[in-house]
Amino acid sequence: MKQRPGFPAKLASSVVKAVPMAPKPAGVQHTVSATARPQGLGMDSATVRQRMVQLLHKQGVRDDTVLGAMGSVERHRFVDSALVNQAYEDTSLPIGLGQTISKPGVVARMLELLRNGADGHLGRVLEIGTGCGYQAAVLSRLASEVYSMERLRGLHDKARENLRLLRIANLHLLLGDGMLGYAAGAPYAGIIAAAGGEAVPQAWIDQLAVGGRLVAPVVQPQQGGGQCLLVLDKTLQGIRQTLLESVHFVPLKSGLA
């Protein structure tokens, strides 16, 4: 297996607004302020999250690293208070601005595909579509460095607020056009997208490292415009693409809003 690329010590300047999360104290891993814990919900119990992990395993997710990451991130912190009791069900939930937080089964499936049995952490990963920040938080447990891009300012701000208390040092939030990727951080060991178009933008392919993998939904016009998961591997011999199961994500769009 090829060595995954590391991450740069310094990124070149860019028109994209990069907002690194606050650094965590030395020796502390992904700490959360005790005052931030919800009272009376019972959602901060590890038992609740482990039930979700057990369900994911029954659904076919076998990557222990992914399952561990899914079990360590408190999904209820990323959904609206009115929906908190559904946070650990295998369902997508609205997060505002016509967007949704993907159901845990889809998140775990895509992350398992992205890792592709990697030994240890991935290198640098680019996420297209930060949304509420949940998948970015899980990704931070799986990769050495994560750049997560969102085109909707309202969601970008919501993700910043959701992630603030987690103090994840290796996660950087970007406000920008996801279809352009983020060339300043390239090459990426992995790219994962939470929105689907009819084709993978060339910028993503260009920014993917040789030996890297991209996982994204794509529209299949010959199947009535539905979406399916695409796994794209960039090798020395060229690009290899594999189409997998049907999925349903929001459309991939350009520009800021």
Q: What is the pLDDT along the chain (257 residues), one digit of tens a residue?
A: 444 444 333 333 333 444 444 443 333 333 333 233 333 346 768 899 999 999 999 999 999 999 999 999 999 999 999 999 999 999 999 999 999 999 999 999 999 999 999 999 999 999 999 999 999 999 999 999 999 999 999 999 999 999 999 999 999 999 999 999 999 999 999 999 999 999 999 999 999 999 999 999 999 877 677 999 999 999 999 999 999 999 999 999 999 99
Q: What pLDDT, on the 0 to 100 scale, is given for residue 250?
A: 93
CA nearest to 137, candidates 74, 94, 43, 62: 74
Is position 84 within any domain?
A: no
**Amino acid, res. 156:** H
CA nearest to 183, candidates 6, 12, 2, 4: 12
Give the CATH number of the domain where residue 211 resides.
3.40.50.150
**What is d(CA 81, CA 230) in angstroms, rounded to the nearest whole number?**
33
Is position 59 within any domain?
A: no
Q: Structural domain of residue 197, as residue ranges?
A: 17-28+104-251
Q: What pLDDT, on the 0 to 100 scale, is given for residue 196?
A: 94
**What is d(CA 158, CA 167) in angstroms, rounded to the nearest whole number?**
15
How many structural domains are present in the chain? 1
Q: What pLDDT, on the 0 to 100 scale, is given for residue 223?
A: 67
Is position 219 within any domain?
A: yes
Is position 158 within any domain?
A: yes
Is position 190 within any domain?
A: yes
Is position 175 within any domain?
A: yes
Establish whether the linkage from the previous residue to 201 is cis, with ω within 30° of 0: no
Q: What pLDDT, on the 0 to 100 scale, is given for residue 220?
A: 87
As beta bridge partners, residue 239 has 234
Q: What pLDDT, on the 0 to 100 scale, is given for residue 130?
A: 98
Q: Are 166 and 193 in contact (CB under 8 A)?
A: no
Q: What pLDDT, on the 0 to 100 scale, is given for residue 42?
A: 65
Is position 202 within any domain?
A: yes
CA 56 to chain centre: 17
Helical axes 46-58 vs 64-72, angle rounded to 10°:
150
Is position 148 within any domain?
A: yes
Active-site residue numbers? 102
